[in-house]
Amino acid sequence: MASLHNVLLLGGSGKIAQLLTPLLLQRSWNVTSIIRDPAQVANLQKLGEGQSGKLNVLVRSLEDVTSDAQAKSIIDEVKPDYVVWSAGAGGKGAPERTFKIDRDAASHFIRASVATPTVTKFVLVSFLCSRLKKPSWWTEEVWQYSQDTVKKNLLKYYEAKIAADQVLYEESKKRPDFAGIDLRPGTLTLEPAGNVSLGKLPVSRGNSSRAGVANLIALLLDTPGVKSSWLDTIDGDEDPEAAVKRVIEEGVDAAEGEPFY
- Give the pLDDT confidence of 20-31 residue by residue, as tens digits: 999 999 999 999
pTM (2 d.p.): 0.97
- Give the pLDDT confidence of 189-228 residue by residue, as tens digits: 999 999 999 999 999 999 999 999 999 999 999 999 999 9
User: What average pLDDT does the segment 33-39 reach?
Assistant: 96
pLDDT of residue 233: 98
pLDDT band at 94 (very low <50, low <70, confident <90, very high): confident
pLDDT of residue 166: 98
pLDDT of residue 3: 54
CA dist., res. 118 & res. 225, Å (int): 17
Fold for domain 6-250? Rossmann fold (3.40.50)
Position 238, amino acid: E
Q: Is 8 exposed, middle or buried (0-12, 13-18, 19+ CB in 10 A)?
A: buried
User: Percent of the chain having pLDDT more than 70?
Assistant: 98
DSSP state of 258: S
pLDDT of residue 1: 43
CA dist., res. 134 & res. 101, Å (int): 26
DSSP state of 14: S
By three-state DSSP, how is residue 136 classified?
coil
Q: What is the largest CA-CA distance in the chain?
A: 51
User: What average pLDDT does the segment 162-186 reach?
Assistant: 98
pLDDT of residue 89: 75
Q: Are 14 and 87 in contact (CB under 8 A)?
A: yes
